[in-house]
Chain A
């Protein structure tokens, strides 16, 4: 131990940190934060075509923000919308702003597709022709005689059967009212003008989202000041609100908990030093963890950052145990102190490393990241304590008896005695409590619980959905075929089934390319169908005659029809005329495969839709489901690894201290974890992957508590000092460590974001249990005395 020079070791620490700092300057300059959920999936599960489709789908959804300005008259609503558009344009946040419908584009599309009107029949028209061609003519007459027929019959001269106006209208299933080129929606007492925007950047960066939120707020006040209303919805808004509220809560709770920790440590030590040292240890741990993980993985996921950082919180234990030891000896020297607690620190570190490192063996990249991140962080924090603290604690010797020390000491002396005395009924009660709680525990892995949108936002979104049922769902179908015809067939089969589902009200609407673009075979069939039913049969002639078309007009029509015989339009040609939303449904063809997406609106029966994936060439993509099941698998995987790690820890401790003591030590964290789980069951708390990370924290701290109590006894046995003092300082350290952890994480239980709340709840119950139970470890003297005396009686 004489080799151990505080100054030398401090230099080591400094050199090490400088080296990490150097590495950090190299690696942290790049974009190192990953936020996409696909990165969390094991490599084998990331089918590239699904990944691509999901990415495209999300890019589309993640950009869209829908704005509705409302007023008592449509004129005013439009005026507000124009004002808003200007404001949004100035923000520079949006790549696309659409208020007026692109009339030019629609005219162009009309002209480009018109020559193919005999080939491009919409589904309904084809159905009518197949079943009763005369119905089509009757419908035409109804349209022509109605007072509003003008619009649909505008091109009667060139399209006497109104075939193309049917096809063109079918492309926009929503019947929207347009005024001054702007879509106007109407509810009970208000007109709403529609403004569609796409964010410039699809990556939903947090700072951009904040700007968006501010923009929504300022435009709401402005529109209201002008006497109007504003409703806004869109995925970016949910993300912004969600992260905003979670961040606000965490920072409020964080502020409170930091203040609590500062006051607690100041009151105990009457010095700033322990506080600063704790921060230093955890800070260097976090920094080293970040640098090494980024170096190793290239990019780390935001989930890694959050949970890894929480797990490093265990490192606070080491600092506190060290500093608290100063109360344990009369003439305390940091070097001596370290010597006493060193074995405890080593075992604590090893057990924690072991439990975290277990995560490395899971197949999930996310867990591997967490494992490396927290292991490195823990090691660096531990090294900071061991290498740097002896120097920085030089001359640190509190000469007061803090109240908390007195309390903790009194408590550790008497509490275990009471517990042991009552164990005859305490143990059964505890067992029943745990068993009952675990019985009621049921995991909920639904990823939607992660997002907690404010009720107001949900209400607006619902209202907009009712007015304008266009918002796409998260779920979609991926349709493939080995060539275009094969793909077309597969998609048509799917769309037919979807049509049935919409009639059963299990789905509001769907959109697939093959409904708009018949493949070349079908184009020919359509032409022949028209030929057979209306042209050859003479029905067309009769219909045109009765309506009053001239002989010449009839002949022109017949001539045009026969000239169009061999026309066909290819998919790329068709896509070139389509709007962006439809173009994005097509994912292209490669050597042996063609792919498209079919998007959905207003799903009311998910299982019915998911069942359609049994169709040939159809894949059901449900990201919510996929992510939830990913979390479920993560949860199972973490649980198993956790159990394995603890068996290992138990074995290690057993080999070193004997099986009885090992059992005692491991019993503390295990019982704490069980009680925590049971509490979740009793109080019907959210139980998911995230609670397990909290449990890892509980286990880490629980095992530290137990080991330090155990070592306090064995080190006291080695030294000449009284057993009493060492246990007193240990109980202080355990209490302080429990309190700081409770303040840091347990307070999160007050959060209204369910996932944050669950994390806090788990930590709070687990830590409290560990605190309550840990004095039982190594409580040899009173314990044995008690037993002896009770035996004597």
Chain B
């Protein structure tokens, strides 16, 4: 029995350092610039609804300013978020636990930051890599069971599996890295910093 435990511990620690290596490799593959933008398609599968909620739109990530999430179909709406503020059409909202940070880490390619809040396993294959995240925070554990990330030089898809069985899948397309953001985007970010 003791032997088993030791073996398990060893495997676990091995596994972790392995994950850290994989993380570093994947990080190295990602294009890292201060600004990332593109289009998204979001598909939400809620258990109580017979059909998925599908929405599309554009996103803009700015390293220091946060994220603009602009839904265009079926109902146009705007969501602005940074580490401490979340603004929707219905006003200021509470930032869900670790949400701002996770968003930033994923879209900004700063995968290392994720190890703080998640247990990470994954593989670095060609052409695409995959990571599986499980929250460490017990409060978050009650809501999210796993987050699945796939990508190549960019993050291509994000899948959130909730404890309740609900599933959200977001795929990113037409990802670019402009040097500057547009004035209207600048104005949107302005609203985030009171």
Residues of A near any B CB (own CB < 8 A): 73-75, 103, 138-139, 141-151, 153-154, 156-157, 175-181, 185-187, 547-550, 553
Stretch at the interface among B29-37, B41-49, B123-131: B41-49
Q: Which of B53, B75, B94, B100 is the one whose CB lies under 8 Å from A175?
A: B94
Q: What are some 8 contacts across the A-B interface (CB < 8 A)?
A: A138-B75, A142-B89, A143-B88, A146-B79, A147-B170, A151-B143, A179-B98, A181-B139
Report the Cα distance A149→B79, complex, angstroms: 11
Instruction: Tell me if B86 is interfacial: C-beta within 8 Å of chain A.
Output: yes
Question: In the bound complex, do residue B88 and residue A177 qualify as a contact, i.e. CB atoms below 8 Å apart?
Answer: no
Question: In the bound complex, do residue A157 and residue B48 qualify as a contact, i.e. CB atoms below 8 Å apart?
Answer: yes
Q: Mark B16-54, 1 if CB is under 8 A from A, else 0.
A: 000000000000000000000000001010111111010
Instruction: Tell me if B74 is interfacial: C-beta within 8 Å of chain A.
Output: yes
Q: Which of B88, B138, B143 is the one whose CB lies under 8 Å from A142?
A: B88
Report the Cα distance A157→B100, complex, angstroms: 27
Residues of B near any A CB (own CB < 8 A): 42, 44, 46-51, 53, 55, 69, 71, 74-75, 77, 79, 81, 83-84, 86, 88-90, 92-101, 116, 137-139, 143, 162, 164, 166, 168, 170
When distances are taken between beta carbons in the complex, the residues of chain B under 8 Å from A150 are 96, 143, 162, 166, 168
Q: Who on chain A is nearest to B90 by CB?
A: A139
Q: Which of A175, A177, A547 is the one whose CB lies under 8 Å from B97?
A: A177
When distances are taken between beta carbons in the complex, the residues of chain B under 8 Å from A74 are 101
Known: A103-B139, A142-B75. 8 other contacts (CB 8 A): A142-B89, A143-B88, A148-B79, A148-B96, A156-B49, A178-B139, A187-B84, A553-B48
Say how far B40's CB is from chain A's closest CB, in angstroms.
9
Say how far B17's CB is from chain A's closest CB, in angstroms.
21
Question: In the bound complex, do residue B94 and residue A176 qualify as a contact, i.e. CB atoms below 8 Å apart?
Answer: yes
Say how far A140's CB is from chain B's closest CB, in angstroms.
10
Question: In the bound complex, do residue B77 and residue A146 qualify as a contact, i.e. CB atoms below 8 Å apart?
Answer: yes
Q: Who on chain A is nearest to B81 by CB?
A: A148
Question: In the bound complex, do residue A548 and residue B49 qualify as a contact, i.e. CB atoms below 8 Å apart?
Answer: yes
Report the Cα distance A156→B53, complex, angstroms: 13
When distances are taken between beta carbons in the complex, the residues of chain B under 8 Å from A145 are 42, 44, 53, 55, 71, 74-75, 77
Say how far A185's CB is from chain B's closest CB, in angstroms.
7
Report the Cα distance A175→B86, complex, angstroms: 9
Report the Cα distance A550→B48, complex, angstroms: 8
Report the Cα distance A153→B49, complex, angstroms: 12
Question: In the bound complex, do residue A147 and residue B53 qualify as a contact, i.e. CB atoms below 8 Å apart?
Answer: no
Say how far B45's CB is from chain A's closest CB, in angstroms.
10
Interface centre among B42, B46, B86, B99 (most CB of A within 10 A): B46
When distances are taken between beta carbons in the complex, the residues of chain B under 8 Å from A175 are 86, 92-95
When distances are taken between beta carbons in the complex, the residues of chain A under 8 Å from B81 are 148
When distances are taken between beta carbons in the complex, the residues of chain B under 8 Å from A156 are 46, 48-49
Question: In the bound complex, do residue A147 and residue B90 qualify as a contact, i.e. CB atoms below 8 Å apart?
Answer: no
Q: Who on chain A is nearest to B71 by CB?
A: A145
When distances are taken between beta carbons in the complex, the residues of chain A under 8 Å from B137 are 179-180
Question: In the bound complex, do residue B83 and residue A186 qualify as a contact, i.e. CB atoms below 8 Å apart?
Answer: yes
Q: Who on chain A is nearest to B193 by CB?
A: A188
Question: In the bound complex, do residue B69 and residue A147 qualify as a contact, i.e. CB atoms below 8 Å apart?
Answer: yes
When distances are taken between beta carbons in the complex, the residues of chain A under 8 Å from B168 are 147, 150
Say how far A111's CB is from chain B's closest CB, in angstroms.
16
Question: In the bound complex, do residue B162 and residue A144 qualify as a contact, i.e. CB atoms below 8 Å apart?
Answer: no
Report the Cα distance A150→B98, complex, angstroms: 14
Question: In the bound complex, do residue B94 and residue A177 qualify as a contact, i.e. CB atoms below 8 Å apart?
Answer: yes
Q: Who on chain A is nearest to B84 by CB?
A: A186
Report the Cα distance A157→B165, complex, angstroms: 13
When distances are taken between beta carbons in the complex, the residues of chain B under 8 Å from A180 are 97, 137-139
When distances are taken between beta carbons in the complex, the residues of chain B under 8 Å from A146 are 69, 71, 77, 79, 88
Question: In the bound complex, do residue B166 and residue A549 qualify as a contact, i.e. CB atoms below 8 Å apart?
Answer: no
Report the Cα distance A161→B107, complex, angstroms: 32
When distances are taken between beta carbons in the complex, the residues of chain A under 8 Å from B47 are 157
Assuming A75-B116, A148-B99, A149-B44, is B50 touching A549 (CB within 8 A)?
Answer: yes
When distances are taken between beta carbons in the complex, the residues of chain A under 8 Å from B143 are 150-151
When distances are taken between beta carbons in the complex, the residues of chain B under 8 Å from A142 are 71, 75, 77, 88-90
Question: In the bound complex, do residue A178 and residue B97 qualify as a contact, i.e. CB atoms below 8 Å apart?
Answer: yes
Assuming A146-B71, A147-B168, A175-B94, is B48 touching A185 (CB within 8 A)?
Answer: no
**Minimum-distance CB pairs A-B, first 5:** A186-B84, A548-B49, A175-B94, A548-B51, A177-B95
Question: In the bound complex, do residue A147 and residue B92 qualify as a contact, i.e. CB atoms below 8 Å apart?
Answer: no
When distances are taken between beta carbons in the complex, the residues of chain A under 8 Å from B88 are 142-143, 146, 148
When distances are taken between beta carbons in the complex, the residues of chain A under 8 Å from B97 are 177-180
Report the Cα distance A553→B48, complex, angstroms: 8
Q: Who on chain B is nearest to A146 by CB?
A: B79
Report the Cα distance A177→B140, complex, angstroms: 13
When distances are taken between beta carbons in the complex, the residues of chain B under 8 Å from A149 are 44
Report the Cα distance A74→B164, complex, angstroms: 27
Report the Cα distance A177→B85, complex, angstroms: 9
When distances are taken between beta carbons in the complex, the residues of chain B under 8 Å from A178 are 94, 97, 139
Report the Cα distance A176→B48, complex, angstroms: 29
When distances are taken between beta carbons in the complex, the residues of chain A under 8 Å from B116 are 73, 75
Report the Cα distance A646→B79, complex, angstroms: 75
Q: Which of A103, A139, A176, A550 is the one whose CB lies under 8 Å from B50?
A: A550
Report the Cα distance A177→B170, complex, angstroms: 24
Say how far B133's CB is from chain A's closest CB, in angstroms.
16
Report the Cα distance A73→B81, complex, angstroms: 18
When distances are taken between beta carbons in the complex, the residues of chain A under 8 Å from B77 are 142, 145-146
